[in-house]
């Protein structure tokens, strides 16, 4: 028996239906190549995601909107103040010691903080309708890719906001943030049993 592609099989078992996974594994054992298996796995997962969205458009859209709205609201009204808490406490006169002694977060902390925020938004999106299939998480991660990529492009051409170098667009933020959303969403979907999820 041939050694099956572990990662592709794991993704199939999680995002696709058991019957699709079984059919592809059977074809692989009959002589199909690993490249063929990966292509079929990616296509099957994508097809399943669109099928699930057609079956439950309102629920999936609502979950995605909730996750994106949480990210925007937290980033807009809380993230900057949390990362610059020393400035906030100093300007309000509550505690000046942190700012005067340089006990603030470094500038690079905005990147991991944003990744954690997006992971939390993925968890919230998944928990909005945990009975849905795991493809909800995949759809949300794709939305994160599109939004962060669009924001990078906007920064590239905006005169007041110096953007990233062209070769970093879609690499430094889009992919890692999508992975963060995917991980957070998978954790959010971990609790319901597979038998409780919607498979129609």
Residues 72-95 pLDDT 10s? 998 888 887 787 777 777 777 778
176 by DSSP, 3-state: which? Answer: helix
Which two tokens mark 190?
């971990």
What band does 195 get if pLDDT is binned at 50, 70 and 90? very low
**How many CA atoms does the CB half-sphere of 136 hold within 13 Å?**
37
Which is higher by pLDDT, 176 or 69? 69
pLDDT for position 32: 85
Tell me: pLDDT of 5 over 60.
Answer: yes
Which is higher by pLDDT, 195 or 109? 109
pLDDT for position 194: 45
Residue with tokens 């992975």: 179
Q: Could you tell me what percent of the chain has a pLDDT over 70? A: 86
What band does 197 get if pLDDT is binned at 50, 70 and 90? very low
pTM value? 0.77
Tell me: pLDDT of 198 over 80.
Answer: no
* CB contact at 8 A, 105 and 84: yes
Residues 112-136 pLDDT 10s? 888 899 999 999 999 988 778 888 9
Residues 23-32 pLDDT 10s? 898 988 888 8
Residue with tokens 């992919």: 175
Contacts 24+ apart (CB under 8 A), 44-47: 44/12, 44/16, 44/20, 45/11, 45/12, 45/15, 45/16, 45/135, 45/138
Tell me: pLDDT of 107 over 70.
Answer: yes
Residues 11-54 pLDDT 10s? 888 888 888 888 898 988 888 888 999 999 999 999 999 999 99
């Amino acid at each position: 028996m041939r050694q099956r592609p572990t990662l592709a099989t794991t993704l199939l078992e999680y995002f696709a239906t058991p019957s699709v996974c079984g059919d592809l594994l059977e074809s692989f054992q009959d002589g199909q190549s690993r490249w063929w298996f990966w292509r079929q796995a990616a296509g099957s997962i994508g097809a399943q995601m669109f099928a699930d969205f057609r079956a439950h458009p309102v629920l999936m859209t609502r979950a995605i909107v909730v996750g994106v709205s949480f990210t925007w609201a937290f980033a807009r009204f809380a993230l900057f103040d949390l990362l610059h808490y020393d400035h906030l406490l100093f300007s309000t006169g509550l505690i000046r010691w942190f700012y005067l002694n340089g006990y603030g977060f470094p500038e690079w902390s905005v990147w991991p903080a944003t990744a954690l925020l997006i992971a939390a938004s993925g968890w919230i999106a998944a928990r909005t309708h945990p009975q849905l299939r795991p493809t909800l998480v995949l759809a949300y991660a794709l939305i994160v890719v599109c939004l962060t990529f669009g924001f990078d492009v906007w920064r590239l051409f905006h005169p007041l906001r110096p953007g990233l170098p062209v070769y970093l667009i879609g690499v430094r933020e889009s992919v890692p943030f999508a992975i963060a959303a995917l991980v957070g969403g998978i954790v959010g979907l971990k609790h319901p049993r597979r038998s409780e999820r919607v498979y129609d």
